Amino acid sequence: MVERRDVLKGAAMGAAGFAVSGAPAHAKLAGTIEIPGQVKYPGVDGKMLVNRPRAYAILEQHKLDGLIALNPMNVYYLTNTLPTMTKFRSDYSGFATFARDPTQPSFLIASSAQAWDVVNGDREVPELITYGGSTSWDARAQGAVQQMNVEPKAISSSYTVRPGVPLTPREQRWANAQKKYNANAAAGPAWAIVRALKQSGLAKGRIAIDDMRIKYLLDQIGFEGPTFVPGESIFRMIRMVKSETEIPLMRIAGHNNAVATMNTIKSIEKGMTFAEIERRFRVECAVLGSEMTSFLAGVTIGLFPDGEAVPGKAFLIDAVSHFKEYHGDFSRTVCIGEPPKDVIARAKANKVGRDAVFEAIKPGVKFSDLHRIGKEAQVKAGMPPEILIVNAHTLGLEHGDNPMRMEMNGPPIDHVLEENMVLTVDLPYIEVGWGAGHNEDLLRVTKTGFEPMNTISDPLEVV
């Protein structure tokens, strides 16, 4: 049960961050993280999230003229906007287009309700194209409309503006936005996409799309011209290297996630269930302004072998949360009460592996090198090789920003570290009948090494 006093105590710890005795100087968080409510969140000052130079280079490399996004994370990445309908789990919450030609415009495509949001002045956004419904659905269904590829008249909807009263500057922007966007709304998302493609020189381009339903929508209205290719991995290739706007968001995401995890670990007691520990983590995240994405406690997905936390048995905590949609990932080994000798020995070997991986991180190193180094160092330190897992993956708008092979066949891509990639290296060890341990920290690749985005502490936490 989560007590109010425990939540408040956790909030105080979270605001201050956590320090670890003996932690190396390089392990301190870079940048300034202030108490939630006082911090000025990066990205809200108007800067776009997208790494434009990398986007242009990736599109050029793959001979693509542009992008269309439907995945809300990709729409957010390209437009600084989570469309209003995203929270409602709408199938078509909004779209974004991006042209390889930097002289061509990019577009946010969303429902008419979005018009107010984009003029609030809290961030930079691309040009907006809104869509509503058609005034002639019945006639079209009966075959009375001449051609499917002729856009019907759209329904124009706006909120009422009281006449004769002075409006605040923001209210005036809302009124102006309704006149500009909603009076000229498209008759549905497909027609809005067509407008964006025509206005950005992509009507006959080769375009990567992150959801094949985009092609389906355009086929439904008979629009031909572009060549569409699956683009999920194209988006991830771009997102793997973070822009200057994204890096501060990742710092806060990593910091909040680790603090919330450590506060949760310190609250664990004998007999607590997974559900109770997970609920505590949700609360700790919320206090800091983050939201839980995923949480594991016990022996990975199987959770606690005894159904609850038991003293003297090592278990892992693997926690992921997001701040402004950007993810942190943090893991530690936990033992309630005095840890047995084998738990201590394995935790020491785990730290040896982690430190070896840290030493290796720099631009030009392959993921496979990190996997090999992490495993070899742990085995040499006495860890049984059969219980080890070593896995590097990038983070950002997804827990795994790693692209896959575009043809979806063959082995995974052996990615090479680049400056401003943000990653973790999973170092769990799992043995059914014994328990589990883990270590994972959020790191940004620098020119010569890495910047930790959470405090580096001992892999074993005794509570």
Residue 123: pLDDT band by 50, 70, 90 thresholds?
confident
Using a 10 angstrom Cβ sphere, with 0-12 exposed, 13-18 middle and 19 or more buried, the burial of residue 93 is: buried
* Among 449, 435, 236, 456, CA closest to 344: 435
Kindly list the structural domains of the chain, giving each domain's residue range(s) and its CATH number in brackets, ordered by start: 4-37+245-462 (3.90.230.10), 52-239 (3.40.350.10)
Q: What is the rounded distance in angstroms from the CA atom of residue 278 to the CA atom of residue 274? A: 6
pLDDT in tens, 363-373: 999 999 999 99
Strands (E), 286-414: 291-298, 315-323, 326-335, 391-394
Rounded-to-10 torsion of CA 28, 73, 78, 402:
60
Helix axes 232-239, 52-61, angle to 10 degrees: 140
Q: Which residue has the tokens 């009375």?
A: 144
AA identity, residue 338: E
Number of helices followed by number of strands (H, E) in the chain: 13, 16
pLDDT in tens, 124-156: 999 999 998 776 655 444 444 445 567 788 777
Residue 408: pLDDT band by 50, 70, 90 thresholds?
low
The pLDDT of residue 109 is above 80: yes
| Contacts of 68 by beta carbon, 8 Å cutoff, 6+ apart | 95, 96, 97, 98, 193, 207, 208, 209, 210, 214, 231
Minimum mean pLDDT range among 86-90, 253-257, 273-277, 423-427:
86-90
| Contacts of 147 by beta carbon, 8 Å cutoff, 6+ apart | 222
The pLDDT of residue 71 is above 60: yes
pLDDT in tens, 244-279: 999 999 999 999 999 999 999 999 999 999 999 999
Per-chain mean pLDDT for the chain: 87
* Among 336, 284, 288, 292, CA closest to 315: 336
Q: What is the rounded distance in angstroms from the CA atom of residue 205 to the CA atom of residue 98? A: 12
- What is the structure's pLDDT at 410? 62
- What is the structure's pLDDT at 7? 38
Average pLDDT over residues 71-96: 92
Q: Which residue has the tokens 């822009």?
A: 243
